[in-house]
Structure 1
């Protein structure tokens, strides 16, 4: 038989229902399956136990009431459905869902289908099926209150051996394999169908209503998952590239890029979107996000809901964020290596948010959720990422007369910041809600930062709109535009200014230095040759006419930004300053804050300088002051001088925080002209890399051995060490405590 996409499909065992599958993709060994009901009811699984009781009672109650209602009806001579068969694995192969663990469940396998395609379904009747005698209606129901008008209920009469409706409607045809008591059908799911769990109800009556109007109703309790379909041209998530579909939908492992701009590295991550826990949680998140049932076929609304539901800020989503370094009552964000362990914790703990995550963990979870639902998705990292809190399209930093940064600004309400990196997601879809040309990749962000429509959610924002500076388009375009384009403005205390501050610097090219994702079809386990630069997708080349036009276009649409851009420096600048960038240092080494100062004038200049070194979180928030120096010096005409601040390992090691990020500030003032200069730089203190060696070529279902090792570069031992290990399709995530210390300059294996 050929379906609507001209694909040949032949279901197995046309004359009789095939037996349940005897194979499984499950990776747990026998005896490991957890019996949640046997757990301590007051422990972490109590909520799950309680919810299962409610669900079981509710289903039993509904079933009894249906049975009672049926018995009260007058006897009907209509045929009766005894059971259904979903051809789960046959359909899964055709719908490219065969990798889902739920398809292979030995007890309750689930049909997982993609919209915009046909699938096979068989009904077994009590008596032989006769198309001329039996009137059969398929009712596919979605959500808690199915409605034909809202597209959450489909009623399909079984009448023909051909499809008769348009591609926008549910339809079915009788397959030639039908015989005796078995009715075999090919059912078409429109490409606009709601995404999530559908349930089937079959109503059987008589074609000749003079013989009776009674109906027999069969309710199938099978959860049928319907997903988005990037292989279908009629679906709004259609992606016309086999390699990209393989990378952004099927690939269940990848990388999330982290670190400072100059030393970005790909952090391996196991997305695990086909794991048995992933798809049910993804559908649950849509419920948490309060997306209307009638909107769940719209990928724009679905991904916006995902951005809200992955974090715990509003609906008690999957993950709780924390950035202060205090993780004693949970798991530190940097210890996660994949999404499955987090999703399992979420379910086992009664759907309570898991502790803790940060932006790259939120993004990785979004990738898992989107790919499990069939939405092409990638994790994207913006290096030197702006967080504009007052919608000015600028990042404003205020400094007192003695060179200290004034946190919160003059009014205590300005908490603009620059994150060393920030990770969000791109999702692929058409945007029929926007003018033509704004489809394709869209940015969404699940890290809770700023409210949008009274919820911690962000996007989808068209990358093309960001590139053009069209910030008036839905959703949250000004925020994302500022993340990659904001100009950095430094303000100095100035008693002669009308509002007490004057701008001493505007850096137009500091923010959005690089935007990275894992490249399509590439895989580098030992380096980062598999990274792809996305800067051109988000912004025009720095200092180009197009780039400045995009800024002006955005400023024109933002009143607050217009006020900030009106300020112009008026002092004479005849002394040049250059802060020497630090690429990296290895833990244990010292570093220097160095500024080269040159007097370009023909007169002597007296200069005040302030140099500061701080440890910072990757969000740019200060952790600890490490060292500060200030002083004055004189430069003769055309003279040059270096000023420096040296920081020893003994001065910074106790003040390092996760990611080992450092920020250095330099502020200088020229006494004679009032010229003020400032600059900043970020770098990281690098740790030794973990070396992984596999003893032999791994084989399916054969144990293998891997060795992990590294060398301690410090003059002191390392204690309280842990390993987090994960592998897609290989093993369940594991956290391993290392009970021995690693001696100074010693090796760990």
Structure 2
């Protein structure tokens, strides 16, 4: 669309001397005033409850306001509302549609109109029509289209968030950090890409092809004024289980007929593929991919949003708020329960006022885990309701509570009350460092849950304490160093057998077969603290592990005489080799000038890497992704 364009005469009756020739949507001024610069090159994008300007340019015949009345008509679907243009010095009313001409805005052949939408307007693409009317006649012109978004800058809007730093981070920032792996966490960058061409239009398409829109277009348009409804519909439309959603999930097996979820680095590519394939779901996503696409769409629509990682997130399969884990006699984890604990899970928090309960951050989880009201959507669930255990609060509060605070029942041990939701974090405002959100979800429990799992014949109290620790955060190409500490609290010496193994682990599944084992026999004296050091060299794991992979290490100590068994475990993620980016001539670059960047990394493996692919993506700097093999 040309923002300054010749108008199209639709129809007219009678003789009206004044004729409209051009309309100027004043994109630069409106986009700056509405904080929407860069969201679209096709449409005027404005925020509800705040006036925007439109300049009308007439033909050689000057418009006579005493003889010819201007009336705007705003269309949404098949519904429309007439807005008489008023001469007024008063500010626009944010609770109804209005159109004002202020003193000084009338010129011989043009007039500037200030149009204001209600603060509770629906988020959508609108059509704008102008009528020039007299008592005997009317002439109508199709002016064009504009997009109306939520307004987190306006206090009366339910998505208003008070601090400018929050709006910059949770609405305008197109750069994110994904925390994944284990609670020691690895991080990787993500490009939300809301300013990439076509992304806003893709977000509007998600709403237009939703089942709610197909069932009742008018009802859907009316309900889009509510951020609770918007977030729920978009949550369902990000996954493709019930509809024409943007992403299909896959958590194991081959990804040859699509893209491995770990290869995505931005949301724009996914939304572009979805639109270009006529709304066929993009393959494949996992929890963080779903969450980042959802966060992108929410930010585009004007709802403050952030991506949150829950480390040790529980999936309560039977709804009893408790996670059951089963182990064999050799302490191998068994798949006998619908419950599970993932190393990490990623969802979105959206900020909004809720008329039914507490305001503030709300959990919205687009991953298709469990149905809610028969549909794969989850939330918006108030974080405050989770912390206060208000399980009846809509939506899906008990499911979210179990994800962050469920108790884990294990064989040979009564209860672990602390491991689930060990760390909950999001990107800090203006920084890549994680902000700890654990306290906003969880209240402290009485039990610490730190005693290792143990088995003692006859119910006798154990005489040993066993712990396992990993030195630092292991990096690919370096040795993995760990330490087993055994404390003999009994009054007699002991002969022990130590069994140590390391396994590759998918973040949402049980460990796979061991890739490294160690067995030894040791003696420990009464009151002695024994420290056993172990190291896994790169040659033992480089054919199995890569950057961001999760490793489960477990040690079992057997007392040869008493047959007591003690288990201690640790999980950690391998950090990736660092990639270095250097801009020739310094780190500052000039607009509209070509610059060269040197991107490099060091192969930390002991073997040659064949077929390595380096992918470069720069929001606003590069069109699409660039790959070098």
- Which TM class, normalised by the smaller chain length? 0.7 to 0.9
State the alpha-carbon separation in 1 of the partners of residues 381 and 204 from structure 2: 23
The 10-residue stretch of structure 1 (644-653 or 666-675) with the greater mean CA deviation from structure 2: 666-675
Counterpart of 1:539 (choices 436, 442, 466) is: 442
State the alpha-carbon separation in 1 of the partners of residues 27 and 591 from structure 2: 24
1:397–1:406 Cα contact (<8 Å) kept: yes
State the alpha-carbon separation in 2 of the partners of residues 367 and 302 from structure 1: 13
The aligned residue for residue 419 of structure 2 is 510
The aligned residue for residue 441 of structure 1 is 361
Over 3 Å counting, the alpha-carbon distance change for 1:128 and 1:377 in structure 2 is: same
Over 3 Å counting, the alpha-carbon distance change for 1:281 and 1:322 in structure 2 is: same
Task: State how 1:467-506 maps to structure 2 within 5 Å.
Answer: 467-491=387-411, 504-506=413-415
2:553–2:569 Cα contact (<8 Å) kept: yes
Counterpart of 2:128 (choices 189, 197, 200) is: 200
Shift of 1:708: 2.1
Question: Number of aligned pairs?
Answer: 607
State the alpha-carbon separation in 2 of the partners of residues 663 and 704 from structure 1: 44
Over 3 Å counting, the alpha-carbon distance change for 1:691 and 1:159 in structure 2 is: closer
Are 1:139 and 2:73 matched, yes or no?
A: yes
Shift of 1:364: 1.9
Counterpart of 2:347 (choices 407, 424, 427) is: 424
Task: State how 1:709-720 maps to structure 2 within 5 Å.
Answer: 709-720=600-611
Task: State how 1:70-81 maps to structure 2 within 5 Å.
Answer: 75-77=13-15, 81=20
The aligned residue for residue 281 of structure 1 is 202
The aligned residue for residue 37 of structure 2 is 98
What is the TM-score of this pair, normalised by structure 2?
Answer: 0.86
Are 1:110 and 2:30 matched, yes or no?
A: no
2:504–2:514 Cα contact (<8 Å) kept: yes
Are 1:154 and 2:75 matched, yes or no?
A: no
State the alpha-carbon separation in 2 of the partners of residues 442 and 734 from structure 1: 33
Shift of 1:85: 3.1
The aligned residue for residue 323 of structure 2 is 395
State the alpha-carbon separation in 2 of the partners of residues 700 and 167 from structure 1: 37
The aligned residue for residue 731 of structure 1 is 622
Are 1:574 and 2:462 matched, yes or no?
A: yes
1:60-105: CA deviation from partner (whole Å, max 9, x where unpaired): xxx9xx97xx69xxx5345765553322222212112123242xxx
User: Structure 1 regions of 5+ residues with no counterpart?
Assistant: 1-16, 22-62, 103-108, 147-152, 492-502, 523-527, 549-569, 739-749
The aligned residue for residue 192 of structure 2 is 271
The aligned residue for residue 743 of structure 1 is none
1:489–1:506 Cα contact (<8 Å) kept: yes
Shift of 1:290: 3.6
Shift of 1:706: 1.7
1:300-344: CA deviation from partner (whole Å, max 9, x where unpaired): 111122221122222232222222152222222222222222222
Q: Which has the higher strand share?
A: 2
2:310–2:346 Cα contact (<8 Å) kept: yes
SS at match of 1:355: strand
The 10-residue stretch of structure 1 (475-484 or 223-232) with the greater mean CA deviation from structure 2: 475-484
1:572–1:674 Cα contact (<8 Å) kept: no
1:666-717: CA deviation from partner (whole Å, max 9, x where unpaired): 5678899998765432112333211222221322222222222222222211
1:571–1:675 Cα contact (<8 Å) kept: no
Are 1:614 and 2:503 matched, yes or no?
A: yes
The aligned residue for residue 519 of structure 1 is 428
SS at match of 2:324: strand
Shift of 1:644: 9.0
1:273–1:372 Cα contact (<8 Å) kept: yes
State the alpha-carbon separation in 2 of the partners of residues 462 and 350 from structure 1: 35
State the alpha-carbon separation in 2 of the partners of residues 635 and 506 from structure 1: 29
1:379-402: CA deviation from partner (whole Å, max 9, x where unpaired): 111222222222222221112334
State the alpha-carbon separation in 1 of the partners of residues 561 and 399 from structure 2: 40
The aligned residue for residue 583 of structure 2 is 694
Task: State how 1:313-712 maps to structure 2 within 5 Å.
Answer: 313-324=241-252, 326-407=254-335, 409=336, 414-434=337-357, 438-491=358-411, 504-522=413-431, 528=432, 530-540=433-443, 542-543=444-445, 571-582=459-470, 583-588=472-477, 591=480, 596-598=485-487, 600=489, 612-626=501-515, 649-656=538-545, 659-666=548-555, 678-697=567-586, 698-712=589-603
The 10-residue stretch of structure 1 (285-294 or 299-308) with the greater mean CA deviation from structure 2: 285-294
Question: How large is the Cα RMSD of the aligned pairs?
Answer: 3.6
State the alpha-carbon separation in 2 of the partners of residues 729 and 323 from structure 1: 31
What is the TM-score of this pair, normalised by structure 1?
Answer: 0.73
State the alpha-carbon separation in 1 of the partners of residues 611 and 482 from structure 2: 33
The aligned residue for residue 168 of structure 1 is 95
Q: Which has the higher helix share?
A: 1
2:181–2:549 Cα contact (<8 Å) kept: no
SS at match of 1:198: strand
Over 3 Å counting, the alpha-carbon distance change for 1:86 and 1:446 in structure 2 is: same
1:102-131: CA deviation from partner (whole Å, max 9, x where unpaired): 2xxxxxx42111011111224456764344
